[in-house]
């Protein structure tokens, strides 16, 4: 069969969350024409039934589930939401500690993003 007679058919492929280049819990269904992506259908997050799991738990018992869905900022978001719901005043020292940990997390996230991007584009050390 010559190159002129051969037709490339579109095919559908799953990308993520198990793919090494798919960081996090996202998944995409890709329709490809050879190596060119013609269409991408994103599926953000994995359904874990978290809402049902924490339905009968206290705010404190529900805290670990937020880390499973978000990963690195879940506990802070959950705690802030609960404090606003309960109209709690957070002590100044605790606010400083939170800012410190948020900044450390931000630096960690940027480092992770840069290194995984470098791996994705083929950098080998």
What is the C-alpha separation between 35 and 12, in angstroms, rounded? Answer: 11
Residue 25 inside a domain? The answer is yes
Residue 30 inside a domain? The answer is yes
Q: Residue 3: which residues within 8 A CB-CB, separation 6 or more?
A: none
Residue 35 inside a domain? The answer is yes
pLDDT band at 8 (very low <50, low <70, confident <90, very high): low
Whole-prediction pTM value? 0.53
pLDDT above 70 coverage of the chain, percent? 78
Domain of 35 in residue numbering reads as 10-46
Residue 15: per-residue pLDDT: 76
Count of domains observed in the chain: 1
| Mean pLDDT for the stretch of residues 40-69 | 77
Residue 113 inside a domain? The answer is no
Residue 89: per-residue pLDDT: 93
Residue 29 inside a domain? The answer is yes
Summarize pLDDT for 64-117 with one digit per residue, the tens.
877 766 666 778 888 888 899 999 999 999 999 988 988 998 898 888 888 888
With beta carbons less than 8 A apart as the criterion, state whether 63 and 75 touch. Answer: yes
Between 84 and 11, the more confident residue is 84
Between 69 and 120, the more confident residue is 120
Between 3 and 60, the more confident residue is 60
Residue 78 inside a domain? The answer is no
């Amino acid at each position: 069969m010559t190159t002129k007679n051969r037709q490339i058919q579109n095919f559908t492929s799953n990308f993520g969350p198990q793919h090494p280049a798919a960081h996090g819990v996202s998944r995409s269904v890709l329709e490809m024409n050879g190596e060119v992506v013609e269409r991408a259908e994103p599926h953000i997050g994995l359904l874990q039934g978290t809402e049902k799991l924490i339905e009968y738990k206290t705010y404190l018992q529900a805290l670990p589930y937020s880390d499973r869905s978000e990963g690195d900022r879940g506990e802070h978001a959950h705690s802030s939401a609960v404090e606003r719901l309960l109209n709690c005043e957070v002590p100044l020292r605790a606010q400083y500690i939170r800012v410190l940990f948020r900044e450390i997390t931000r630096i960690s996230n940027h480092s992770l993003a840069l290194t995984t991007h470098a791996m994705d584009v083929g950098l080998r050390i």
